[in-house]
Amino acid sequence: MGKTQPAAPAARISKRLLRQNIPLYIMFLPVIAFFLIFKYVPMLGLVIAFKKYSFIKGIWGSPWVGLDMFKMIADNHAMLVIIRNTFLLSGLSIAIGFPIPILLALMLNEARRAFFRRTIQTFVYLPHFLNWVIIGGIIVTVFSQSTGTINHVMEWATGSTYPFLYKDASWVSIYVASGVWKEAGWSAIIYLAALTSIDPSLYEAANIDGANKWQQIRRITIPGILPTIVIMLILKIGHLMEVGFDQVYVLQNNAVAEISEVISTFMYKIGIQQAQFSLASAMGLFESIVGLVFVIAANAIARRFGQGLW
């Protein structure tokens, strides 16, 4: 009997909190509606990955083919090359692009002159707000073999030019570097925010103990933002199979099609241009499942070091 008596006061408190938070719940309704309408309801359309879909018969009238589309993906060498390209480009972007915002945030945090820091921040944030069409135009202006700035200098200095955008190795380098240039400044904002949560007294104590800047960064700064780094890395790994469509589509050309064709551009070409909706949906579902597996695996590894996302 003694255990059941506090239930009534607890229930009254819960109801009072519920009434107090009604305005917040109402404000949250559009967010719930957005995710339901544009994120969860469309997932029902994934059923066409297991059907031979046609516009005339519709989703439910199209014949069921089971795993045939996935078998087609596994048996087609060209699709395996596309998956390889996706892993390669995304993996390089993460391996090279992930540490750079952290280093940039650390350097900006060490800048003592406010004017200098704000100026550098403005310049490194600016590319994020440019569309990939604009970025692609800049890249062509700089690296084009016939009209590019770099090739003009090379021709003047050596008498020859180099097809940067038409060789696999140089194209991959430009792809990764352009992605880092565009997003590094914006991604650094998260780490700069995390740096503000570190207690300044820790640096004062380290100063008194004679620690230099590198030792302070290694012993205080990096451990202080490590949870943020782990969370961002897990989220990045979850998008390992999702190479951005805009960037690849703007930069690719027929000369580098063997290395530049990825899942997103493949789905656009067979799904929109060729109307093979079932095959494109199967590829998209495969991409999502692999991404989910990577997120779970990365989080399991992070949990072993006490830094898991859940």
Q: Would the pLDDT of 170 be above 90?
A: yes
In this prediction the pTM is 0.82
* Locus of tokens 């519920």: 18
Does the pLDDT value for residue 13 go beyond 80? no
**How many C-beta atoms lie closer than 10 Å to residue 20's C-beta?**
9
Is the pLDDT at 6 greater than 80? The verdict is no
Q: Average pLDDT in the 181-204 region?
A: 90
High-pLDDT (> 90) share of the chain, %: 31
CA 47 to chain centre: 26
Question: With 90 as the cut, is the pLDDT of residue 36 above it?
Answer: yes
pLDDT for res 1: 45
Question: What domains appear along the chain, each with residue ranges and CATH number?
Answer: 1-50 (no CATH), 68-304 (1.10.3720.10)
Residue 102 has pLDDT above 80, yes or no: yes
State residue 12's pLDDT score: 73
- pLDDT value for 159: 86
Q: Which of 63, 60, 86, 62 is nearest to 73 (CA)?
A: 86
3-state class of 66 per DSSP?
Answer: coil
pLDDT at 236 over 90: no
Distance CA 101, CA 195 (A): 13
Residues in Cβ contact with 82 at an 8 Å cutoff, skipping those fewer than 6 apart: 261, 262, 263, 266
User: What's the mean pLDDT in 220-244?
Assistant: 86
Contact 248, 175 (CB under 8 A): yes
User: Can you name the residues that pair with 64 across neighbouring β-strands?
Assistant: 51
Task: Report how far Cα 51 is from the mean position of its chain's Cα atoms.
Answer: 30
Whether 209 shows a pLDDT value over 70: the answer reads: yes
| Predicted local confidence at residue 235, as pLDDT | 84
Q: What is the pLDDT of residue 244?
A: 77
